[in-house]
Structure 1
């Protein structure tokens, strides 16, 4: 039986120097194979202790039961701050709670129905672009990045990817996501706040350029809101929502931070998941045909989303095997004892969807592709206790519902019109900002 690609694990014992080098190169292959069976693992450095938690009740404690005792780690955020600033993805405490109070209403209930037309338009545009490659081999990550960015700009600012600023942001972000490592030196060495951070020159320059373009969009939208001409999209909703406690709205600089994370979370993660989904469908053509058959009568109607059952199960399974954000890091704020280990304040608590989703003591056939697992007793149990592609608890991704409409819809639209087959060696999963292929994913596209 063919298994989906999985990176090789490192040897159990390596020096800290080599571990840092491996980690900066790729977070996935830098880990030992024993983590796929361990309930908890400890890593020691001269500067801090970190603990990977795979035991479901410990994951639940950190993410759901006591999230305030385990805020996001500042060590990991160091590498993302040039682009994301003080966005909701990086903040903690009262600042984070205020940001979520303003952002969350834009993604509640009927807003998914409101954003569906933009998703549909982006899906149709993707089909039209792929028509140009009929019978050819394409690098599919480039195409999924294009359609995911198109969705974000249409839903956020009511502009297509062809818009001058949208196109510039998309182009520069492609450079950024490949140049930005998961960790910089500050993740391993506790530098004081006043000390300069060590970023690549091109990474900082690209981040500044992207933020400048986003600022232009947000300032233009603020003018449109004031004169009453702003469209009723996500940007308008977020920028006009008042914090129910203080009555404040986001100012221009705060909105740049939030748009930056919406683009990262809504574009980069969706592009990753869609690329792997299309590759897996090429690897398992019988499932590809099931989705194509299901999508035969797909039309622009939000109710159609609920009928994409096969596509949704496939997409959920792809998110299990290739969670776009492979690891999340929290920090303990008080003394703890987990599995008879004494954990001091300041310890790094690593929650790894990559390892949790493939844990050999939790999942049946953990490395296999099986969309039917969600209807089994084991699958339902693991879905509740060991499946966190969007995190969990109070910090669960605001756009989780958005992603579970967008992903199956675009996957179904593409497979309705095209048959795809693999080309070349299997892709090797690596972690840049999200889980991507080391050398891209090449697929042959043919019109049905």
Structure 2
């Protein structure tokens, strides 16, 4: 059975009609032909956008000449109130300096150090689900909770039921439903002094989240000065100097970075986990294989995660079908020529994992859930050339290694104890908010194993 995907539009539409569709849902606003095209052009009165699916062009933009294609400021229009000048939005020397400070916290050795916190969050997740056996449960809410728990435990050494952490989580749940992946301001160039299209509630929620994060970073700074701060990701980032300047992140910068860690580490993981659980519920034969493999976690340690090979392939397949970040936007800094077409400076270059991962000219059976594809020649070839759930090149997601430990670990811990069933009258419909979520949630029935 093919997993659900949104129904794409056919034919041409006016700019205003497209903007209306875009506001409702980024995914279904796109034309069906994008699943077959190597490149497509979208015109507005103000700028040109080009969506590229050709692997050679994606490599050019993300790997070979990334500095010539900086992050688009238009995407930042929608995320700036929460993320400020975080590493997700910055370009050039500012971005390079931020990565020099942040990257060491996510190196392999540090990931091993975070494993006990991940495991504790996963076990707490299993314990919470024990009270829902034989119940129907909305799993986007559930996976959001466990993903937030992982972030707070690994970043600040506090569980989700910590008072401030719980407030951040509550505020963020409201924010992610209010704010789309790309704000409509992306369509219209506005002077900096004109207010952006944010509701009063969205702006207030962003301010509240940032103030709570500031409280946590200020408290950590005091512990660092006192010499008794826990050895977690926050301490590592706050005490790592830039090797070129010798300077650490300032307080405002740290608030920006924690905001993106929470967005990237919680929101994206929650999306990926919820869709993975739905896919294994839809394909119970894979669920049984994962449950058997999960016995490697009888005495879990960091090394045991490496033995969850089938689970990694299942998680990888879920990221293919439902990439948490469905589109990324770069901007041309000089005139270019793609596939014989002239592209002016300032044009928007859209890279769409959503379309690339389902491209009919690249993948065999692109809309089918088949984790075994990763062991085939086509799967291995596409993994190299047409698979970018974490982006690629110098701007690859800092937390990609973190996510590929967290996801299979939580999934295996759950499947050791529970079986999940789909609910026929509640088929999820993918839509793009800050990440790819379901329009009305992902509902599953929980059974004991």
- Does 2:380 align with 1:380? yes
Superposition deviation, residue 300 in structure 1: 2.4
Distance 1:26 1:94 in 2: 34
- Does 2:218 align with 1:214? no
Cross-structure match for 2:163: 164
After superposition, the C-alpha distances for 1:101-158 in whole angstroms (9 at most, x for unaligned) are 0000000121111000011000000001001101100001111000000000000000
SS at match of 1:50: strand
**TM-score computed with the length of structure 1 as normaliser:** 0.99
Distance 1:12 1:63 in 2: 30
Superposition deviation, residue 297 in structure 1: 3.6
- Does 2:332 align with 1:335? no
Contact 1:24 / 1:182 at 8 angstroms: preserved in 2?
Answer: no
Distance 2:142 2:115 in 1: 20
- Does 2:58 align with 1:31? no
Contact 1:419 / 1:445 at 8 angstroms: preserved in 2?
Answer: yes
Distance 1:185 1:422, change over 3 A: closer
Superposition deviation, residue 193 in structure 1: 1.8
Contact 1:117 / 1:300 at 8 angstroms: preserved in 2?
Answer: no
SS at match of 1:106: helix
Distance 1:176 1:189 in 2: 23
1:217-228 to 2 correspondences below 5 Å: 217-228=216-227
1:313-352 to 2 correspondences below 5 Å: 313-352=313-352
Contact 2:330 / 2:348 at 8 angstroms: preserved in 1?
Answer: yes
Distance 2:375 2:293 in 1: 18
- Does 2:245 align with 1:246? yes
Gaps of 5+ in 2: none
Contact 1:421 / 1:443 at 8 angstroms: preserved in 2?
Answer: yes
SS at match of 1:349: strand
SS at match of 1:80: helix
Contact 1:102 / 1:241 at 8 angstroms: preserved in 2?
Answer: yes
- Does 2:302 align with 1:305? no
SS at match of 1:190: coil
Contact 1:321 / 1:367 at 8 angstroms: preserved in 2?
Answer: yes
1:427-446 to 2 correspondences below 5 Å: 427-446=428-447
SS at match of 2:260: helix
Distance 2:135 2:415 in 1: 16
After superposition, the C-alpha distances for 1:264-320 in whole angstroms (9 at most, x for unaligned) are 000000000000000001000000000000012413211000000110000000000
Contact 1:107 / 1:399 at 8 angstroms: preserved in 2?
Answer: yes
Distance 1:296 1:185 in 2: 48
Distance 1:183 1:374 in 2: 31
Superposition deviation, residue 192 in structure 1: 1.5
After superposition, the C-alpha distances for 1:211-259 in whole angstroms (9 at most, x for unaligned) are 0000000000000000001000000000000000111101111100000
SS at match of 1:79: helix
- Does 2:71 align with 1:75? no
Cross-structure match for 1:45: 44
**TM-score computed with the length of structure 2 as normaliser:** 0.99
- Does 2:151 align with 1:128? no
Number of matched pairs: 447
Contact 1:363 / 1:379 at 8 angstroms: preserved in 2?
Answer: yes
Contact 2:296 / 2:308 at 8 angstroms: preserved in 1?
Answer: no
The runs of at least 4 consecutive aligned structure 1 residues that moved more than 4 Å come to none
Distance 2:153 2:323 in 1: 25
SS at match of 1:110: helix
Contact 2:136 / 2:445 at 8 angstroms: preserved in 1?
Answer: yes
Contact 1:44 / 1:50 at 8 angstroms: preserved in 2?
Answer: yes
- Does 2:108 align with 1:109? yes
Gaps of 5+ in 1: none
Please tell me the root mean square deviation across aligned C-alpha atoms, in Å.
Answer: 0.7
